[in-house]
Amino acid sequence: MAERTLKVLLDGTPLLGERTGIGRYTASLAEELASRSDVDTRAVAFTLRGWRRLRHVLPHGARARGMPVAARLLRRSWLHSPFPPVELFAGLADVVHGTNFVLPRAARAAGVLTIHDLAFLDAPEELARSDRELPQLVRQGAKQARVICTPTAAVAETVAERLDVPREKIQVTPLGVDAAWFTGRPPNKETRDRLRLPSEYLLYVGASNPRKGLDWLRKAHAADPELPPLVFSGPGPVSASGRVLHAGYLSEVDLRNVVAGASALVLPSRDEGFGLPVLEALACDVPVVCTDIPALREIAGSFARLVPYGDVEALAVAMGEAVAEPRVASLSVGRRAHAAGFTWRHCADATVEAYRRAAAK
């Protein structure tokens, strides 16, 4: 007998504005869910301004609902009471999925919460003022959710230990790599000129917040003047000077080209929940250097140079080795095959399994 269709409310707030990793995760998950017949997906945005734009950024088949209340006020209210329940604005549902650390309060819907990492617990002083209540909200959501989703087993273990929830309550839902990354091509001359890219460059992709290790990266890069220029791509302020360039926030097409044209991708994070740029670089057959931390070890497998966090000399050496690495067919095939094992279809399958577990409890 066919399983019944689940009505799911998805927090689509991360789809608004410039998309970093969580926005891309939410967009790709929403697209996969919209193509399925076993879930009826509605996305809801928690924002006073701009929530009407949600309908324009959702995939065909997904419907939009707005909760025209400032997110800050909603979070404060949800910390102390179940009001207002999300169904009041978005209608009844079987499951409500908090895609971005915070579980919306619901009257009847079963809660599923995605916790991408717990970096904020170690450095709460790095949180923006609007996120100062995030640790308390995440702890509360973890207790109330019937199922918690994490992008890696490494994060699942950390969540179970540090938030004191049963490991069996957690579902690992690894992120995916869009098929377009496997056909990525280096930027042509017109794109290089437009983005002011050198012919060779090391590349960092991501936000510029403190846990990303960008000061360490700058020091390591400066330690070896033979390294190609360093290009930063992503939102947030980055001071560019000399051999350090800032490409800014790039469109999906430009980003694929810029990654495909890099001599190596470097991800020097102090903490990561997944590290999507690592897999996207591997899909483009680009060497990867990243920090030796559990989540990055898990997703990179044997296809990245792993460096102890904060070791300037080791990072400089690893970047030099990556740039000088000869092109070997077997290594190229291995990188691409490894990245191909991560798909958004698998992510959606695991997420729907989490929905069914939650709705059945």
Q: At 86, which amino acid appears?
A: V
SS3 assignment, position 111: strand
Q: How far is CA 339 from the centre of its chain?
A: 15
Q: Are 118 and 139 in contact (CB under 8 A)?
A: no
Quote the tokens at residue 234: 């992503």
Residue 125 three-state SS: helix
State the Cα angle at 208 between 127 and 71, rounded to 5°.
40
The HSE-up count of residue 29 (CA atoms within 13 Å, CB side) is 32
| Dihedral in degrees, nearest 10, Cα atoms 120, 135, 149, 360 | 180
Mean pLDDT, contiguous 10-residue spans, the chain (361 residues): 85 84 93 93 81 74 70 85 87 95 95 96 82 92 98 98 97 97 95 95 93 95 97 82 89 96 98 96 98 97 97 98 89 95 98 97 78
- Helix and strand counts by DSSP (H, E) for the chain: 15, 13
- Report how far residue 112's alpha carbon sits from residue 144's, in angstroms, rounded to the nearest whole number: 9
The residue count of the chain comes to 361
Give 305-310's long-range contacts (Cβ < 8 A, gap of 24+): 307/268, 309/213, 309/216, 309/268, 309/270, 310/213, 310/216
- The answer to whether the CB of 356 falls within 8 A of the CB of 146 is no
The pLDDT value recorded for residue 73 is 83
3-state class (DSSP) for residue 225: coil
> What domains lie within the chain, and their CATH numbers?
6-175+343-360 (3.40.50.2000), 179-340 (3.40.50.2000)
SS3 301: coil
DSSP of 182-237 = GG-----HHHHHHHT--SS-EEEES---GGG-HHHHHHHHHT-TTSPPEEEESSS-
Any idea which residue has 């490409």 for tokens? 247
Q: State residue 57's pLDDT score.
A: 81
DSSP string, 87-108: HHHH---SEEEESSS-----SS
pTM for this predicted structure: 0.93
Q: How far is CA 87 from the centre of its chain?
A: 27
Residue-level pLDDT at 61: 64
Question: For position 68, what pLDDT does the model report?
Answer: 67
- The confidence score (pLDDT) of residue 50 equals 65
User: Containing H/E element for 247?
Assistant: strand 244-248
225 prior amide bond cis, ω within 30: no
